[in-house]
Amino acid sequence: MSMTIPDDILQASQMTEDELKVEIAIMLYQQQKISSGKVRAWTGLTVIEFQHELARHGLHINYDLDDLQADIKT
């Protein structure tokens, strides 16, 4: 699915299309609707860039005990 963002919305937001995409992705991540991997794949952010975006928004990486155990197994 593709989504078109009207030019007047971009102008009103005073953001570029890429900046708005990151904002939407961070919002979905914050609501635990998509994973950090999905955010990075969609936006093209590196792990470090993603962490900087989270910090800029006052957020942290969603990482719980299940994630740790999965990482240990890997």
Q: From the CB of residue 50, how many other CB atoms can be counted at a distance below 10 Å?
A: 20
In a domain, 20, yes or no: yes
Q: What is the pLDDT of residues 29-43, one digit of tens each?
A: 999 899 889 999 999
CA 67 to chain centre: 18
Q: What is the pLDDT of residues 7-57, one digit of tens each?
A: 998 899 999 999 999 999 999 999 989 988 999 999 999 989 999 999 999
In a domain, 35, yes or no: yes
In a domain, 33, yes or no: yes
In a domain, 9, yes or no: no
- Six-digit token pair at 10? 């971009």
In a domain, 4, yes or no: no
In the chain, the number of structural domains is 1
- Six-digit token pair at 37? 């991997």
User: Range of 66's domain?
Assistant: 15-73
**Residue 64 pLDDT > 80, yes or no?**
no
Torsion of CA 53, 59, 60, 62, to 10 degrees: -110
In a domain, 2, yes or no: no
